[in-house]
Structure 1
Amino acid sequence: MIRFNKIKKLFEQWSIIMLSNKKYLIEIDSVAGDGDLGLTMSDGFKAAYLAVADSEETDIGKIFYKAGKKMSSAVPSTMGTLMASGLMQAGMALKGKDVLSLGDIVQLFEAYKQGVEFRGKAKAGEKTFLDGIAPAVDSLKEDLAKGETILVAARNALKASEKGSEMTKTMLAVHGRAATRGENSRELLDAGSVVAVLLMQGFLEFVRLIESGHSC
């Protein structure tokens, strides 16, 4: 179980990992996008973290929602809005909870995915963020059914996300500037799907931290 007083560490890890991968995100987004993804994600997740860093809130849902609202205003770009929508949807799903089980973690990322789907009017298979997050959600559900620990589930979710992101190199782009390339878009790695991988990587690092010396 993960208690509310540990959740701020998750936002810190997301902020750290987006900042450390800022140049990489800029690089891959520049191939078919406008090249601002690294700035948007590093600034957006930093804003989300700072919004909750000193909070005394015990409702995990409210923590996520507050972080999402702050990100929405800090980086009002397309991807910033999508990620903020994911956070706010997760916040609504987790409202009233002060501890998270693996079942709640599944609910968190499922809601995050749904928030992005609804706002972006996209679906898995269309070469977007969803192709990185959807496999992770499926993996989490499978491990919940198997009775796995949160740590094992986090590891497997990251692997599934990485595989899903890699698969975008075979997909036809439907949204954004990449879609204008038509069939030539298939060979490109989708930058949004990489953001999903980084989210799952940050989640795994968070779980490792709290399991190694920081009790939940």
Structure 2
Amino acid sequence: MKTIAQTCVENETYFCDLDAVAGDGDFGYSLARGFEIVLESWEGYDRSDLGSFLGGVALTMSSRIGGSSGPIWGTAFLRASSVARGKQQLEGADVVAMLRAATEGIMARGGASLGDKTLLDALVPLTDAIEAGVRAGSDPKAIAKSAAVVARDAAERTSTLTARRGRASYTGERSVGSPDPGAIAMAVLAERIAGTR
């Protein structure tokens, strides 16, 4: 979680620049402000189990970030926290279940589906890759690296899609040609996690 938070803060300008192409340019700003609060609140989160910790992060994200990012990311962490409730450590299958739960939450909250040019277009393939690696019994580091490659490829391919959700959907066909900033964020996060394991 700390890696995710620090990476989003460090990439504020990059994510904003991506969002400015077809959106309103505040994606990086919103994420950075929210994760700055997460980092500032780090020692105060309930650590009795992983679910409680993630629930605290979810509350921070949903209540302290403006725009659509707060509800979307807050919902993702909240759904993941329900899977992690009562756990002190996670197995590969738990990680997959958490990502699936987060995906379902994002779909329900934002009304988006695969192909709508959102972060889901990288998150779902990333999750599929992790699940395949877990089922194959692969080494966690190898799984993380493989998932990062899949996420990057999927994120870059969103440049061929027309945005159908979020601010970018207002631009219609003009959104074609640039990747979705949320999907790129998923790739950047996956790459950073793979590089720090």
What TM-score, normalized to structure 1? 0.85
Q: What's the CA shift string for 1:81-120, capped at 9, x where partnerless?
A: 1011101110011111111111111112222222211111
Tell me the equivalent position of 1:8.
none
Tell me the equivalent position of 2:106.
116
- For 1:89 and 1:107, the matched residues in 2 are separated by 10
Give 1:107-146 correspondences, 5 Å limit: 107-146=97-136
Gaps of 5+ in 1: 1-10, 209-216
Report SS of the residue matched to 1:53: helix
2:194 pairs, out of 190, 196, 204, with 204
Q: Which amino acid aligns with 1:68?
A: A
- Against the structure 1 CA distance between its residues 92 and 52, is the aligned structure 2 distance closer, same or farther, given a 3 Å change threshold? farther
Q: Which amino acid aligns with 2:156?
A: E
Tell me the equivalent position of 1:151.
141
Asked whether the 8 Å contact 2:46–2:56 carries over to 1, the reply is no
- Against the structure 1 CA distance between its residues 19 and 112, is the aligned structure 2 distance closer, same or farther, given a 3 Å change threshold? same
Q: Which amino acid aligns with 1:171?
A: L
Give 1:85-100 correspondences, 5 Å limit: 85-100=75-90
CA root-mean-square deviation:
1.6
- For 2:81 and 2:41, the matched residues in 1 are separated by 14
Give 1:43-62 correspondences, 5 Å limit: 43-55=33-45, 57-62=47-52
Tell me the equivalent position of 1:22.
12
- For 1:49 and 1:161, the matched residues in 2 are separated by 25
Report SS of the residue matched to 1:124: coil
Deviation at 1:48, TM superposition (A): 2.6
What TM-score, normalized to structure 2? 0.93
- For 1:49 and 1:103, the matched residues in 2 are separated by 27
Asked whether the 8 Å contact 1:65–1:88 carries over to 2, the reply is yes
- For 2:40 and 2:89, the matched residues in 1 are separated by 21
- For 2:64 and 2:154, the matched residues in 1 are separated by 29
Report SS of the residue matched to 1:100: coil
- For 2:34 and 2:191, the matched residues in 1 are separated by 17
- For 2:99 and 2:35, the matched residues in 1 are separated by 16
Q: Which amino acid aligns with 1:61?
A: G
2:24 pairs, out of 31, 34, 39, with 34
Deviation at 1:123, TM superposition (A): 0.9
- Against the structure 1 CA distance between its residues 108 and 205, is the aligned structure 2 distance closer, same or farther, given a 3 Å change threshold? farther
Q: Percent identity?
A: 27
Asked whether the 8 Å contact 2:50–2:85 carries over to 1, the reply is yes
Matched residue pairs, number?
197
Check if 1:174 corresponds to 2:193. Answer: no
- Against the structure 1 CA distance between its residues 91 and 49, is the aligned structure 2 distance closer, same or farther, given a 3 Å change threshold? farther
- Against the structure 1 CA distance between its residues 55 and 80, is the aligned structure 2 distance closer, same or farther, given a 3 Å change threshold? closer
Asked whether the 8 Å contact 1:102–1:149 carries over to 2, the reply is no
Report SS of the residue matched to 1:99: coil
